[in-house]
């Protein structure tokens, strides 16, 4: 990329500020900043040595590349304001960085000839400083107009990152996977530390105790993949240990008990898929997590748990017959060539 495009930042939060600083370091020309917070806009503009605009349309008009790094709910209204102000033009790239929304949210600028693209970094950002540190080398999901996607690829390469391209209709699945990997990992660690706090440790002690295990597990996943990295009572088919866990958690906390049960059911599927347990063992372990009575287990029935629907628990109970062969089919995950998302 010999001729560096100019860029405008609309939304001077963590991602927008970090991205702007990184682009300036790499020789891109800041054209201006707009943000609802005048303080954050002035701060970022001072760091970039550029101007603060009073409306997003004026900021967009001044730039070749426009980054809308607002909250999700503000992206479309911002695009509307830019379009009404005549702030976009053919050949201009307009970017949003939402993981949940696709590029169609930028339709107002598309109607004026601009190229729309979603560039989402698979990364979490606690602060501007951590965002600036973590963005380079991250993986980015790209979706949008083909000319803009090509420009986005060049941008990612400038950040020493990697990328993959998805379709607009796959954005919910893509973002759900990211939420599981990041947000729900936080919830899992919160659950683990809360159990240790019941044993008398404070939160810091619990985290210090568990973190080497967490780090070791992540290292194993990186080396071997998630299936081969699975260890523990489900992978061993150790039903007695799982029963003891379920009893102890039920006494401690209903939410912890339910979380353990549902995660256990998913883990049974992983163990059947990787061959560490048989489908028959998978049926037995599933019945433990679903707390099926012993006489029901003889018929290979799994009782679906009652969920909070506002009705009595017994009114929401159904039965699902799981033969051994059926368990194998239920727990066989679809694989897609090239590691892509399901189409």
Domain boundaries, the chain: 6-166, 177-336
Q: Residues 137, 161: contact at Cβ < 8 Å? A: yes
> 66 falls in which pLDDT band (50, 70, 90)?
very high
Q: Kindly report the average pLDDT of the chain as a whole number.
A: 88
Give the CATH architecture of domain 6-166. 3-Layer(aba) Sandwich (3.40)
Interior/surface letters 297-324, b for 16+ CB within 10 angstroms, e for the rest:
beebbbeebeeeeeeeeeeeeeeeebee
Condensed to tens digits (0 to 9), the pLDDT of residues 69-87 reads 999 999 999 999 999 999 9
> Whole-model pTM?
0.82
- The pLDDT-based confidence of 3 (bands split at 50, 70, 90) is confident
Note whether 58 and 10 are within 8 A (CB). Answer: no
pLDDT at position 341 over 80? no
What's the CA gap between 166 and 143, in Å, rounded?
6
Locate all alpha helices (DSSP H) within the chain, ordered by sequence.
14-25, 38-48, 56-61, 72-84, 107-110, 128-134, 146-158, 171-198, 203-224, 226-229, 233-236, 239-252, 254-274, 279-289, 294-297, 324-330
Torsion angle, CA of 28/34/37/43, rounded to 10 degrees?
A: 30
pLDDT at 1: 56
Contact assessment for residue 85 and residue 57, using Cβ atoms and an 8 Å cutoff: yes
Mean pLDDT of 21-46: 98
* DSSP H or E stretch at residue 340: none
Q: What is the pLDDT of residues 147-156, one digit of tens each?
A: 999 999 999 9
């Amino acid at each position: 990329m010999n001729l560096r495009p100019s860029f405008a930042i609309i939304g001077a939060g963590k991602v927008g500020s970090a991205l702007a600083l990184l682009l300036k370091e790499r020789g891109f020309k800041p054209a201006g900043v707009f943000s609802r917070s005048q303080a954050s806009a002035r701060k970022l503009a001072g760091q970039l040595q550029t101007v603060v605009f009073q409306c997003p349309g004026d900021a967009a008009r001044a730039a070749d590349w426009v980054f809308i790094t607002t909250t999700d709910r503000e992206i479309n209204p911002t695009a509307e304001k830019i379009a009404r102000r005549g702030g976009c033009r053919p050949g201009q790239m307009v970017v949003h960085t939402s993981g949940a929304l696709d590029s169609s949210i930028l339709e107002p600028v598309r109607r004026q000839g601009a190229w729309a693209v979603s560039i989402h970094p698979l990364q979490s950002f606690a602060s501007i400083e951590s965002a600036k540190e973590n963005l380079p080398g991250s993986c980015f999901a790209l979706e949008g107009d083909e000319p803009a996607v090509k420009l986005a690829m060049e941008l990612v390469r400038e950040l020493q990152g990697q990328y993959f391209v998805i379709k607009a209709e796959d954005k919910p699945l893509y973002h759900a996977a990211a939420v599981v990997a990041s947000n729900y990992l936080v919830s899992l660690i919160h659950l683990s530390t809360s159990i240790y706090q019941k044993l008398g440790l404070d939160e810091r002690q619990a985290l210090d105790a568990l973190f080497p295990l967490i780090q070791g597990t992540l290292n194993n996943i990186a080396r071997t993949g998630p299936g081969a990295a699975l260890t523990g009572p489900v992978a061993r088919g150790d039903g007695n240990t799982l029963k003891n866990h379920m009893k102890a958690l039920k006494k401690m906390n209903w939410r912890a008990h339910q979380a353990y049960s549902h995660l256990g059911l998913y883990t049974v599927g992983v163990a059947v898929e990787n061959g560490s347990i048989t489908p028959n063992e998978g049926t037995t372990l599933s019945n433990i997590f679903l707390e099926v009575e012993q006489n029901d287990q003889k018929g290979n029935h799994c009782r679906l748990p009652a969920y909070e629907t506002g009705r009595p628990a017994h009114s929401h109970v159904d039965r699902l017959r799981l033969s051994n062969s059926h368990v194998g089919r239920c727990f066989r995950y679809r694989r897609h060539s090239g590691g892509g998302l399901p189409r």
